[in-house]
């Protein structure tokens, strides 16, 4: 895919970039999921890296519709990785990056306690996570267990105390019955089937239609 890049922003344009409340809420959810924030240096502005497997191309294009104005790419790019050592298969990804902007610095400071450190769940996530943010967290890292009619959030990249915190926020803020379950490589949040209808009612109007299957719709 031949990618055309937009011209660099001026310092004034970078400083005047704004982020709507809806987009900020979405980014909170995405940063709990697959989205990564990056700084070239400790004092530089923040760039966001959106990336999905090629099977989720339609979803990534949806994200580009939302955040493409912050990107210097005219369209997302497809890349192929080296063949998997176990299967020999070549897995492709689709991605786009944003400009490095001051408007993303607050989010970087929330989710990264140290420069280029491990991503964390903010201590005040209960004040930050909205239904819109939860919807996009599930878009990224949610899966629907058809057998048990439960929704699983794949939070293995976080420490157990952080996963416990997220589960408590889901219970307190959204009245969802949750448990933290052990997986071989970490911990996940399980939203009980008893809360499925509550979850569906909460998110059905804010989750992208192509991702409603993540909550059993």
Domain of residue 166, CATH code: 3.10.28.10
Confidence of residue 197 (pLDDT cuts 50, 70, 90): very high
Mean pLDDT within 123-143: 98
Query: How far, in Å, CA of 35 to CA of 139, rounded?
Result: 11
99 located within any domain: yes
Of the three residues 76, 111, 146, the one that is the final residue of a domain is: 111
129 located within any domain: yes
Specify whether the CB–CB gap between 15 and 102 falls below 8 A: yes
- Quick one: 104 and 132 in the same domain? no
Confidence of residue 12 (pLDDT cuts 50, 70, 90): very low
Confidence of residue 87 (pLDDT cuts 50, 70, 90): low
- Quick one: 59 and 35 in the same domain? yes
Residue 117: what pLDDT? 83
Residue 174: what pLDDT? 98
Of the three residues 50, 76, 111, the one that is the final residue of a domain is: 111
Judge if pTM exceeds 0.85: yes
34 located within any domain: yes
Total residue count of the chain as it appears in this document: 217
Residue 162's closest CA among 203, 109, 110, 103?
A: 110
Q: How many domains, the chain?
A: 2
- The burial class, CB within 10 Å (0-12 / 13-18 / 19+), for 68 is middle
- Quick one: 70 and 158 in the same domain? no
- Quick one: 104 and 158 in the same domain? no
118 located within any domain: no
Mean pLDDT within 16-43: 93
Residue 82: what pLDDT? 65
Mean pLDDT estimate for the chain: 91
5 located within any domain: no
Which tokens go with 51? Answer: 């990336």
- Ranked by mean pLDDT, the top range of 78-92, 108-122, 141-155 is 141-155
Residue 200: what pLDDT? 98
Which tokens go with 13? Answer: 């344009």
Of the three residues 83, 111, 139, the one that is the final residue of a domain is: 111
Which tokens go with 12? Answer: 């004034």
Residue 15: what pLDDT? 47
Confidence of residue 182 (pLDDT cuts 50, 70, 90): very high
pLDDT at 3 over 60: no
- Quick one: 105 and 175 in the same domain? no
179 located within any domain: yes
Tell me how many degrees the CA angle 41-44-47 measures, rounded to the nearest 5: 95
Residue 1: what pLDDT? 45
- Quick one: 199 and 148 in the same domain? yes
- Quick one: 34 and 99 in the same domain? yes
- Quick one: 35 and 104 in the same domain? yes
Residue 110's closest CA among 100, 122, 99?
A: 122
Specify whether the CB–CB gap between 76 and 60 falls below 8 A: yes
- Quick one: 91 and 158 in the same domain? no
Specify whether the CB–CB gap between 190 and 152 falls below 8 A: yes
pLDDT at 84 over 80: no
Task: Domain of residue 95: give its range.
Answer: 11-111
Confidence of residue 4 (pLDDT cuts 50, 70, 90): low
pLDDT at 85 over 80: no
In sequence order, which residues have a C-beta less than 8 Å from that of residue 121 and are 6 or more positions away?
A: 32, 111, 158, 162, 163, 165, 166
- Quick one: 133 and 88 in the same domain? no
Specify whether the CB–CB gap between 108 and 40 falls below 8 A: no
2 located within any domain: no
- Quick one: 21 and 72 in the same domain? yes
151 located within any domain: yes
Which tokens go with 205? Answer: 């109007």
Q: How far is CA 142 from CA 69, 126, 129, 211, in A?
A: 27, 19, 15, 10
Residue 2: what pLDDT? 47
Name the β-bridge partners of 180: 189
- Quick one: 104 and 160 in the same domain? no
């Amino acid at each position: 895919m031949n990618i055309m890049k937009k011209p660099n922003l001026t310092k004034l344009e970078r400083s005047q970039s704004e982020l709507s409340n809806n987009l900020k809420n979405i980014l909170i959810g995405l940063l709990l999921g697959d989205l990564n924030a990056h700084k070239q240096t400790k004092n530089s502005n923040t760039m966001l890296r959106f990336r999905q497997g090629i099977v989720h191309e339609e979803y990534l294009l949806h994200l580009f519709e939302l955040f493409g104005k912050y990107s210097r790419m005219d369209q997302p790019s497809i890349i192929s990785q080296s063949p998997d050592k176990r299967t020999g298969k070549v897995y492709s990804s689709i991605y786009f990056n944003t400009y490095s902007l001051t408007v993303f610095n607050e989010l970087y400071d929330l989710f990264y306690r140290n420069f280029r450190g491990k991503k964390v769940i903010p201590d005040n996530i209960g004040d930050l996570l909205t239904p819109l943010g939860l919807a996009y967290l599930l878009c990224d890292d949610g899966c629907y267990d058809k057998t048990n009619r439960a929704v699983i959030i794949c939070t293995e990249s976080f420490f157990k105390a952080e996963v416990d915190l997220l589960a408590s926020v889901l219970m307190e803020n959204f009245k969802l019955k949750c448990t933290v379950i052990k997986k071989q490589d970490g911990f996940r949040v399980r939203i009980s089937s008893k809360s499925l209808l509550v979850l569906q009612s909460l998110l059905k109007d804010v989750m992208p239609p192509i991702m409603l299957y993540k909550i059993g719709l």
